[in-house]
C-alpha cells in the first residue's frame, strides 16, 4: 500500500473523516420534480382504486415508488400491462397498501448524489487552489497551480504535452513547480455497477505508465472500508491513491 493510502486509512480510522469530507462532497437532498398533471393522475387513480391508471401514471416518471423488478420492462413496453393482469394486480396491490403519501414520497425521492460528485470536487478544488489558463500554466515554474481548461483541452494537454496516453480526459491536471500531476477524483458510495467502473477508471489513470507526469487516484467513500473489494485492491497496490482531504499535503510534498 502506498504511504499516502496508509495516511488516508489512519485518517478514516482515527479522525473525523466523514465530517471533513462533507466540505468537499456535501449531501444536499434534491427532490425529483414531478409535474402537477402526473400528481393529479396518481391522486385520481388512488381515489378510483384504478390499477391500470395508477401504473400507467407511475411508469411515466423517472423513479418508481419502490424497487420493482418488472418496472423497467413495463416502462419499455407499456403494451405488456394489458397482457399481464396478474403482474399488474400484484404491483398495484403493493402500491395501494403503501398508500398515497408513501407513493408520492417515493416518486419525488432525491436523486442519488453520486451523479453530481465530479462537479462538487471541481467546485471545492477551485475554492482551495489557484486555477490558470493553458499559457500561464505552461510558463509557470513556481507554486501549486491547476489547469483551468475544457474537457478536451485537459485531455490534449495530458496527452500531447505530458505524454500520458489517456483515452479519457482526467479530472484535473496540476503542477507543483516543475512537476506535473494528473488525477482522477471519485466519491464511491457502494461497490456495484457504475461505481465499480468509476473505481477502475481512476485506478487505470493512476497506474498508467506513460508520460512524465505523476499520476494519482483521489478516492473517497466506501473504498476505505477495510474488507471491501475496493480496499483489497488498494491494499495490494503501490500507486498513489489517497483521499481528497490529503491532496494539498500530497502536492506540497512534491
> Per DSSP, which regions of 113-178 are E strands?
130-132, 144-147, 172-176
Do 136 and 205 lie in a common domain? yes
Instruction: List the beta bridge partners of residue 214.
Output: 181
Mean pLDDT of the chain: 91
Quickly state the pLDDT bin for 112 (edges 50, 70, 90): low
Do 23 and 41 lie in a common domain? no
pLDDT value at 244 more than 90: yes
Do 124 and 225 lie in a common domain? yes
- Evaluated on CA atoms 205, 208, 212, 218, the torsion sign reads positive
Do 128 and 242 lie in a common domain? yes
Do 84 and 180 lie in a common domain? no
Quickly state the pLDDT bin for 101 (edges 50, 70, 90): very high
Do 103 and 152 lie in a common domain? no
Q: What predicted TM-score, i.e. pTM, was given to this entire model?
A: 0.73
C-alpha cell at 79: 403494451
Do 171 and 236 lie in a common domain? yes
From the CB of residue 140, how many other CB atoms can be counted at a distance below 10 Å? Answer: 15
Residues of the domain holding 151: 3-27+113-253
Count of domains forming the chain: 2
239 touches 207 (CB < 8 A): yes
Do 15 and 76 lie in a common domain? no
Residue at which a domain ends, from 107, 128, 154 = 107
- Evaluated on CA atoms 73, 77, 79, 83, the torsion sign reads negative
195 touches 189 (CB < 8 A): yes
Residue at which a domain ends, from 107, 130, 157 = 107
Quickly state the pLDDT bin for 109 (edges 50, 70, 90): confident
Do 159 and 68 lie in a common domain? no
Do 43 and 69 lie in a common domain? yes
Residue at which a domain ends, from 107, 136, 166 = 107
Do 140 and 67 lie in a common domain? no
Amino acid at each position: 500500500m502506498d504511504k499516502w493510502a496508509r495516511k488516508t486509512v489512519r485518517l478514516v480510522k482515527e479522525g473525523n473523516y466523514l465530517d471533513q469530507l462533507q466540505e468537499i462532497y456535501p449531501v444536499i437532498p434534491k427532490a425529483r420534480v414531478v409535474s402537477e398533471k402526473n400528481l393529479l393522475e396518481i391522486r385520481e387513480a388512488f381515489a378510483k382504486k384504478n390499477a391500470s391508471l395508477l401504473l400507467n401514471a407511475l411508469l411515466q416518471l423517472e423513479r418508481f415508488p419502490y424497487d420493482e423488478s418488472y418496472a423497467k420492462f413495463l416502462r419499455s413496453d407499456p403494451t405488456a400491462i394489458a397482457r399481464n393482469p396478474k403482474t399488474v394486480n400484484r404491483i398495484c396491490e403493493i402500491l395501494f397498501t403503501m398508500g398515497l403519501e408513501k407513493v408520492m414520497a417515493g416518486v419525488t425521492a432525491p436523486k442519488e448524489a453520486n451523479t453530481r460528485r465530479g462537479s462538487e470536487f471541481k467546485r471545492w478544488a477551485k475554492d482551495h487552489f489557484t486555477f490558470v489558463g493553458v499559457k500561464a500554466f505552461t510558463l509557470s515554474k513556481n507554486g501549486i497551480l491547476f489547469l483551468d481548461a475544457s474537457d478536451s483541452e485537459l485531455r490534449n494537454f495530458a496527452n500531447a504535452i505530458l505524454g500520458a496516453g489517456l483515452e479519457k480526459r482526467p479530472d484535473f491536471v496540476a503542477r507543483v513547480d516543475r512537476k506535473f500531476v494528473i488525477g482522477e477524483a471519485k466519491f464511491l458510495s457502494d461497490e456495484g455497477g457504475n461505481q465499480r467502473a468509476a473505481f477502475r477508471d481512476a485506478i487505470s489513470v493512476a497506474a498508467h505508465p506513460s508520460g512524465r507526469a505523476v499520476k494519482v487516484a483521489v478516492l473517497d467513500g466506501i473504498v476505505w472500508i477495510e474488507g471491501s473489494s475496493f480496499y483489497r485492491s488498494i491494499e495490494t497496490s503501490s500507486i498513489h491513491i489517497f483521499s481528497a482531504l490529503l491532496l494539498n499535503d500530497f502536492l506540497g510534498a512534491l
